């Protein structure tokens, strides 16, 4: 076959369960796939995608499943599971090290490795679930760092040209939670190169909440392990570190991105907020303002623990940006219905449109 495993969703066979996509998402939601292929190397990944394409099948490349919402109807085609592992140092100098990381390498394992080796640049991204190959797709970021700062290039399979190659960081179109990969299925990420500083200290702490947790000033540096431990504590307190025994972590993390408004829209938001006070915000590029989606959701009346249909899905009891599947019996449509309710409520109260952060497969808001 050229891949580690191929499973067919055929009614009445023991293998049916392996084709149910709830097994492969942190939400534990999603319907059936026609076929599931497991790829354990970059070559396997290319071959699995290419062969499915030659059969004329729809293809979904799925790694950690931490940033995807799959509809109850599942996926009518081949799902290629990315399970490649490993990293290698490809370049060093006195100040930096460049590592090439396979797409299926668990992200937090990579971060832990870099911290342990005294490589600075990813420490504030600790605790984020999912795989390394997914990080350039949405330009993963948290606590003042994002991967666009350290990525130098991405090795890809181009499904249109049928070739493998490298896309330099400058050509990846990185922006807030987005890239050229985000809304295109042309490229399959095979591995990612990161250039990291050879330093026992973190980068300058940019995020005020993290600085308070570390008891340092914004802009200070701290030992890498200290920064990682603080980020893990903060994320765990918000239900953002996966825990099989905690339904608050059965989510895709932040369901909505922070809205980015131009100055006129931001002033209108301030007026509509009125007695609620100043909306938390941060300056963006070209005079734009990034606004806290969590604040908008909460002030629109959707607090922590707000229930969806029959309570089978709820807003996390720890963080208003996370929508959780708590029952083991919910449908994707229950979760999407709660997301619609929140989006409509925020729109009505503040005239601001929230946009989903995860990729929606066979479902829509």
Q: What is the pLDDT of residues 223-267, one digit of tens each?
A: 999 999 999 999 999 999 999 889 999 999 999 999 999 999 999
Residues 261 and 226 in one domain: no
Q: Is residue 242 part of a domain?
A: no
Name which residue leads in pLDDT, 309 or 167. 167
pLDDT at position 187 is 97
pLDDT band for 6, please (50, 70, 90 cuts): low
Residues 16 and 52 in one domain: yes
**What are the CA-CA distances from residue 126 to residues 107, 120, 225, 258 (Å)?**
8, 12, 10, 20
**pLDDT of 4 above 80:** no
**pLDDT of 5 above 80:** no
> Are residues 237 and 217 in contact, defined by beta-carbon separation less than 8 angstroms?
no
Residues 219 and 132 in one domain: yes
- How much is the average pLDDT of 343-355? 98
CATH number at residue 201: 3.30.465.10
pLDDT at position 202 is 98
- 275: which DSSP letter? G
| pLDDT tens per residue across span 52-77 | 999 999 999 999 999 999 999 999 99
Number of structural domains found in the chain: 3
pLDDT at position 326 is 87
Q: Which domain holds residue 335?
A: 247-361
**pLDDT of 220 above 70:** yes
Indicate the residue among 44, 64, 82 that finishes a domain: 82
Structure tokens at 312: 């089978």
CA dihedral angle for residue 339, residue 344, residue 347, residue 352, rounded to 10 degrees: 30
Please list the active-site residues.
Answer: 177, 254, 357
- How much is the average pLDDT of 92-118? 98
CA dihedral angle for residue 322, residue 175, residue 292, residue 327, rounded to 10 degrees: -10
**pLDDT of 312 above 70:** yes
Residues 147 and 203 in one domain: yes
**pLDDT of 345 above 90:** yes
**pLDDT of 11 above 70:** no
Residues 285 and 146 in one domain: no
Indicate the residue among 82, 112, 134 that finishes a domain: 82
DSSP states of 105-173 as a string? SBHHHHHHHHHHTTEESSGGGTT--SBGGGTTTTT-EETTEEGGGTEEEEEEEETTTTEEEEEEGGGS-
pLDDT at position 10 is 46
**pLDDT of 124 above 50:** yes
Q: What is the mean pLDDT of the chain?
A: 94
């Amino acid at each position: 076959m050229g891949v580690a495993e191929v499973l067919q969703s055929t009614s009445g066979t023991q293998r049916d369960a392996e084709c149910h996509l709830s097994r492969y998402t942190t939400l534990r939601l999603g319907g059936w796939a026609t076929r599931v292929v497991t790829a354990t190397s970059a070559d396997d990944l290319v071959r699995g995608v290419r062969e499915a394409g030659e059969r004329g099948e729809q293809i979904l490349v799925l790694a950690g499943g931490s940033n995807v919402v799959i509809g109850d109807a599942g996926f009518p085609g081949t799902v290629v599971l990315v399970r490649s592992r490993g990293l290698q140092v490809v370049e060093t100098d006195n100040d930096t090290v460049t590592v090439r990381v396979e797409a299926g390498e668990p992200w937090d394992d990579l971060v832990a490795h870099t911290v342990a080796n005294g490589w600075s640049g990813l420490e504030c991204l600790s605790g984020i679930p999912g795989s390394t190959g997914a990080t350039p797709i949405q330009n993963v970021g948290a606590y003042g760092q994002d991967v666009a700062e350290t990525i130098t290039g991405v090795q890809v399979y181009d499904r249109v040209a049928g070739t493998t190659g490298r896309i330099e960081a400058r050509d990846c179109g990185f922006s807030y939670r987005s890239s050229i990969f985000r809304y295109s299925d042309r490229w399959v990420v095979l591995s990612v190169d990161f250039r990291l500083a050879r330093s026992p200290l973190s980068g300058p702490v940019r995020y005020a909440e993290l600085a308070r947790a570390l008891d340092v000033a914004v802009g200070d540096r701290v030992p890498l392990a200290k920064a990682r431990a603080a980020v893990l504590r903060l994320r765990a307190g918000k239900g953002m570190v996966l825990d099989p025994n905690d339904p608050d972590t059965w989510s895709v993390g932040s369901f909505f991105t922070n809205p980015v408004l131009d100055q006129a829209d931001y002033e209108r938001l301030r007026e509509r907020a009125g007695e609620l006070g100043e909306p938390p915000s941060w300056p963006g590029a070209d005079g734009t303002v990034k606004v806290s989606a969590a604040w908008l959701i909460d002030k629109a009346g959707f607090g922590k623990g707000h229930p969806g249909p029959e309570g089978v899905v709820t807003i996390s009891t720890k963080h208003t940006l996370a929508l959780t599947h708590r029952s083991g019996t919910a449908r994707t449509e229950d979760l999407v219905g709660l997301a619609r309710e929140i989006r409509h409520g925020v729109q009505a109260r503040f005239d601001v449109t929230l946009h989903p952060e995860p990729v929606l497969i066979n479902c829509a808001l």
